Amino acid sequence: MGQLADAIVFSPSRLTYQVKVLSERGLVKRVKCPEDGRAWEAELTTEGRTMFRRASVIHAKGVKNLFTNAVTDEQLTMIHRIFAQVAQNLDQVHDD
């Protein structure tokens, strides 16, 4: 779960709490890591996958309505360039 915490920029304790809450709601389950019996992995349950798919659709519509539809094609192209540069910068920082 440490790798997941790093990937989503959560502290390990915050991730543990969130996984506990999601587990209590039946959306994820904790399973032992097959490669390292000391470590745990978080796995979406069937209900969790269903919820994730629904949330993804809602999120995509929100982004489109509030962001993509609110700018011109030229502005959107510029935003893509900026985000690509930010992503490249983040990759360089992460590699250091």
Can you give the chain as a three-state secondary structure string?
Answer: CHHHHHHCCCCHHHHHHHHHHHHHCCCEEEEECCCCCCCEEEEECHHHHHHHHHHHHHHHHHHHHHCHHHCCHHHHHHHHHHHHHHHHHHHHHHHC
Give pTM, 2 decimals. 0.65
Q: Model confidence over 47-85: pLDDT tens digits? A: 999 999 999 999 999 999 988 889 999 999 999 999 999
Q: Model confidence over 10-36: pLDDT tens digits? A: 898 999 999 999 999 999 999 998 888
Q: Where are the domains of the chain?
A: 1-44, 46-96
